[in-house]
Amino acid sequence: MTDSFIRLESVSKDFDQHRVVRNISLDIEKGELFAILGGSGCGKTTLLRMLAGFEVPSEGRILIEGVDITQLPPYQRPVNMMFQSYAVFPHMTVEKNVVYGLLRDGVGKTERAKRVDEMLKMVQLNDFRKRKPNQLSGGQLQRVALARALIKRPKVLLLDEPLAALDKKLREQTQFELMNIQDELGVTFVVVTHDQEEAMTLATRIAVMDAGQFLQIGTPTEIYEYPKNRFVADFFGTINMFEARVSKVNDEAIVLRCDSLNTDIIAKQNPLDENILEKSNPARGIRLWVAVRPEKISVSQDKSTHHNCIKGQIWDLGYYGKHSTYRVKTETGVMIQVSTQNHARASKKAHDWEDNVYVSWDPTACIILDQ
């Protein structure tokens, strides 16, 4: 292991004899925007609070720049935290909210004024400095909280569900603002979220967490396209998953019998995949799972020449403007979800309810999982 900016070494946390964080080891590099992604109760916020100093690990160590901070209180750590609720002071103006931390630290008046001006310009709130929180929108409140957290120039900023209170359009806009600010300042961000799209947009790397453990750490592309197990594949985006048994293996492909679809599925492993074939050494009859993302599947009223082509009927559909989602019911009753881009302007849908169609996908689109 190389020297890392933030390092967690076998960190665990118990509450009332119940282990909520289990033996977490992690390295985060300086300047990263790292996301911890997981559902409610998985332990991600507890882990963030241990980084902040609000909780002390039951086991293990936390280091920043090689310094052990495990037992240090929050005010002695080079860390600041932006809470999900923003926690701005309602009786103070934007300017006073932002400068509050510098006043507590005894920073001189000239330096305070300079840093407040810089920060308010950065978060585009210079024209709102005399307003109080009840005169601000949700996005503006989020930027006040961000400015207040960053003005003390922490080495690490921790963000707990930072965009959860914003509507969809504002959330998307604010994601890019956060990325630009993080890049400009070079501060290391650690973000906790349950939103997969938010994690994919913001983060340079993501750790997927469940039951107090990291199941996979990687770039957004690595985790989306090459999940290590069924939980990660299913949690990270939408996916179709079929249980199957090995029928035939050769150097180029694997043929799997899928009883639920009453067909064979031909899969080719991408060179970037872990070599499931070598790892599990699948003999005939061994159980595996085949996963296919909806956008990798085509839907047509004509039978495809693809190896994997299954007949079905449009059972449900959703039109979202830029794309459409179809749930196709196969002849065996299995639902397959398909997502298609609406490239052309049209006054009617390409496919409608109860249309008889074929769904198909290329063998290289298959993700082969053994657990």
Q: What is the pLDDT of residues 251-296, one digit of tens each?
A: 778 899 999 999 999 998 665 555 555 555 566 778 999 999 999 9
- The tokens of 257 are what? 């019998």
User: Can you give the residue range of the structural domain that contains 249?
Assistant: 238-369
| pLDDT per position as a tens digit, 163-177 | 776 777 777 777 888
Residues 229 and 251 in one domain: no
Question: How many domains would you assign to the chain?
Answer: 2
Residue 102 has pLDDT above 70, yes or no: yes
Residues 304 and 177 in one domain: no
- 178, 301: one domain: no
* CA dist., res. 286 & res. 277, Å (int): 11
Residue length, the chain? Answer: 371
Backbone angles phi, psi at 6, to 5 degrees: -115, 135
Query: Which of 189, 213, 233 delimits the end of a domain?
Result: 233
Cα gap 135→353, rounded to integer Å: 47
Q: Is the pLDDT assigned to residue 331 strictly greater than 50? A: yes
246 shares its domain with 130: no
Read off the DSSP letter of residue 366. Answer: P
Mutual angle of helices 109-122 and 138-150, in 10-degree steps: 140
Local structure of 99: helix, strand or coil: helix
Residue 327: give its domain's CATH number. 2.40.50.140
103-128: average pLDDT: 87
Percent residues over pLDDT 70 in the chain: 94
Q: For residues 210 and 69, state if they share a domain.
A: yes
pLDDT tens readout for residues 33-70: 999 999 989 999 999 999 999 999 999 999 999 999 99
Residue 340 lies in a domain: yes
Phi, psi of 306 (to 5 degrees): -60, 150
Query: Read out DSSP for 29-46?
Result: -TT-EEEEEE-TTSSHHH
113 and 29 assigned to the same domain: yes
Which pLDDT score is estimated for 59? 96
pLDDT, residue 70, reads 95
Query: Which burial class, exposed, middle or buried, applies to 326 when counting CB atoms under 10 A from its CB (0-12, 13-18, 19+)?
Result: buried
- Flag whether 1 is in a domain: no
Q: Are residues 84 and 56 in the same domain?
A: yes
Residue that is last in its domain, among 233, 258, 286: 233
Domain match, 116 and 225 both: yes
12: in domain: yes
The percent of residues above 90 in pLDDT, for the chain, comes to 50
Spatial distance between the Cα atoms of 290 and 233, rounded to a whole number of angstroms = 11
247 shares its domain with 210 = no
| Cα–Cα distance for residue pair 298/359, rounded to 1 Å | 6
Q: Which of these three, 179, 207, 233, is where a domain ends?
A: 233
Sorted by sequence, the CB contacts under 8 Å of residue 95 that are 6+ apart come out as 116, 120, 129, 130
Does residue 53 belong to any structural domain of this protein? yes
Question: What CATH number is given to the structural domain containing 50?
Answer: 3.40.50.300
In a domain, 249, yes or no: yes
List all residues 6 or more positions away from 12 whose beta carbon is below 8 Å from its beta carbon.
Answer: 19, 21, 22, 23, 24, 57, 58, 59, 60, 212
- The answer on 223 and 246 residing in a single domain is no
Are 24 and 165 within one domain? Answer: yes
Q: Are residues 60 and 180 in the same domain?
A: yes
Looking at the domain assignment, is residue 213 inside a domain? yes
User: Closest by alpha carbon to 292, among 342, 242, 223?
Assistant: 242
Distance separating alpha carbons of residues 177 and 296, to the nearest angstrom? 31
Q: Is residue 259 part of a domain?
A: yes
Q: Residue 342 domain-assigned?
A: yes
